[in-house]
């Protein structure tokens, strides 16, 4: 995977804004299979904050919570024939658990936008053509986002 973009945000609001902007780009992607976005970064890096902005960019009104205690939450994308599926692999032991909930079938459907927090834990079953976003905690509220494609 090649690095394509680096962005620094200075607070949570900027991270949400970045997620919102990125979602609008993703809505224009066309692909024969699901669009997969994998986020990597430590606890508190801002993965869920980015996801909240992303959902807003898709036009989703429902409140976004971290799905840490449930493996996946699914949302319909308003006015588009698409689904936003938000995963959190933090608590799982390995990729097997993703396979057990039918992840392979979800990957086949071009209407699905699969957004995975802690993607490094399930990297072995993610498609190579995914977008990978690595978030690093710099000082205090500064976060660096590196996008790979």
Q: Which residues bind ligand ADP (CB under 6 A)?
A: 9-12, 14-15, 41, 43-49, 66, 117, 141, 143
Which partner from the list ligand ADP, Mg ion, none does 35 bind, CB cut-off 5 to 8 Å by kind?
A: none
Nearest residue to the partner ligand ADP, using Cβ: 46
Minimum distance, C-beta of residue 75 to ligand ADP, in the bound complex (Å): 17
3-9 and 143-148: which strand pairing? antiparallel
Q: Which span sits near Mg ion by CB under 5 A: 8-16, 45-53, 108-116, 138-146?
A: 45-53
Nearest to 114 by CA among 99, 130, 100: 130
Q: Please report the beta strands in the chain, taking only residues with DSSP state E, as ranges in sequence order.
A: 3-9, 35-40, 72-77, 82-88, 112-117, 131-137, 143-148
Residue 19 Cα distances to 41, 48, 49, 124, 127, angstroms: 15, 10, 8, 25, 21
Q: How far is the CB of 50 from Mg ion (least distance, A)?
A: 9
Other beta carbons within 10 Å of 88: 23
Nearer to ligand ADP, 13 or 100 (CB): 13
* Stretch of 6-14, 47-55, 106-114, 130-138 contacting Mg ion, by CB under 5 A: 47-55
**Tokens 């009104």 appear where?**
61
Binding to Mg ion by residue 66, rule CB under 5 A? yes
Residues that bind Mg ion (CB under 5 A): 47-48, 66, 117
């Amino acid at each position: 995977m090649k690095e394509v973009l680096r962005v620094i945000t200075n607070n949570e609001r900027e991270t949400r804004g970045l997620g919102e902007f990125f979602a609008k780009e993703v809505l224009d992607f066309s692909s024969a299979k699901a669009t997969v976005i994998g986020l990597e970064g430590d606890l508190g890096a801002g993965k869920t904050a980015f996801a909240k902005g992303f959902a807003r960019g898709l036009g989703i009104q429902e409140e976004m919570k971290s799905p840490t205690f449930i493996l996946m939450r699914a949302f319909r994308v308003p006015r588009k024939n698409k689904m936003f599926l938000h995963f959190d692999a933090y608590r799982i032991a390995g990729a097997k658990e993703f396979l057990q909930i039918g992840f392979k079938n979800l990957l086949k459907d071009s209407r699905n936008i699969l957004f995975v927090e802690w993607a490094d834990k399930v990297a072995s079953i993610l498609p190579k053509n995914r977008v990978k976003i690595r978030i690093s905690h710099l000082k205090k509220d500064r976060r660096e986002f590196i996008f790979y494609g």
